[in-house]
Amino acid sequence: MSKTESSVTVIILIGGEKGGSGKTTIATNMAAMRAAQGRDVLLVDTDIQGSASYWAANRDEAGVIPRIPCVQKFGRNLAVEVRDLAGRYGDVIVDAGGRDSAELRAALVVAEAAFIPIQASQFDVWTLQRMDELVASARAFNPGLTARVIVNRASTNPVVSEADEVREVMGDFEHLSLAPVVLRDRISYRKAAKAGLGVVEMERSDAKSKSEIRRLFNEVFSENSQADSEGETAVSA
């Protein structure tokens, strides 16, 4: 495997304390789309449930190209291991969650950017409060860390605006900002996950899910890849 022309390695964390918020969905979609650009992407699964690993195994069994390597890693030493892995891959996407998780804390210390999905229907301010604190602690070691909240599984009914509800409280959190892209509750995400695919790789997934996940992808990687064209310029949000 060779690194592509733009060899700046990006470490992205898709994290958060709540289960079922969409971390694995977003991590696997980002990995599939990044790999489609010809990058050597590694998925790091820190969840004991192994959903990301399961997705990657399904993908392998179905013979989907490009294949996406996935490793499971646990424990406090994750920061060191991820740094080491980042030296060997084009990009590393870490899927980390769980309350008081050593892996989540460790990943916050090595990531350039953290994205924190929250499920619109079970949105709770305390979760964000806690993430704000974790990001604040991590920034003591990792001052360039950016942390964005992504509203996921929002209602497809345009009248219901869960995103507005979240936007209203975001001002309370010094270390978090809100991603402009909202992902809605769409069956395509579940179907793609089962098949070891990203939604953009599924012929029959709906155009809306493809469009919103592409917008998210651009947000996740374009900010960070600015460093590719601007030398060492650090990007902060």
Which phi and psi angles does 135 have, rounded to 5°? -65, -40
Nearer to ligand ADP, 173 or 189 (CB): 189
- Interface with Mg ion, residue 24, by CB under 5 A: yes
- Of 9 and 186, CB closest to ligand ADP: 186
Q: Per CB under 6 A, which region of 21-29, 128-136, 161-169, 228-236 contacts ligand ADP?
A: 21-29
HSE-up of residue 35 (Cα within 13 Å, Cβ side):
25
27-66 positions binding Mg ion, by CB under 5 A: 47, 51
Extract the tokens encoding 142. Answer: 């990792």
- Name the burial class of residue 148, with classes exposed (0-12), middle (13-18) and buried (19+) by CB atoms within 10 angstroms of its CB: buried
Binding mask 98-137 for ligand ADP (x = CB under 6 A): ----------------------------------------
Query: Strand runs (DSSP E) across 100-217, as ranges?
Result: 113-119, 146-152, 177-178
Secondary structure class of 44 (helix, strand, coil)? strand
Chain position whose Cβ is nearest to Mg ion: 24
**Binding of residue 152 to ligand ADP (CB under 6 A):** yes
Question: 185 is in the binding site of which of Mg ion, ligand ADP, none (Cβ under 5 to 8 A by kind)?
Answer: ligand ADP
**What whole-number distance in Å separates Cα of residue 235 and Cα of residue 52?**
28
From the list 12, 13, 23, 131, which residue makes contact with ligand ADP (rule: CB under 6 A)?
23
| Length of the chain (residues) | 237
User: Contact residues for ligand ADP (CB under 6 A)?
Assistant: 19-25, 51, 97, 152-153, 183, 185-186, 189-190, 193
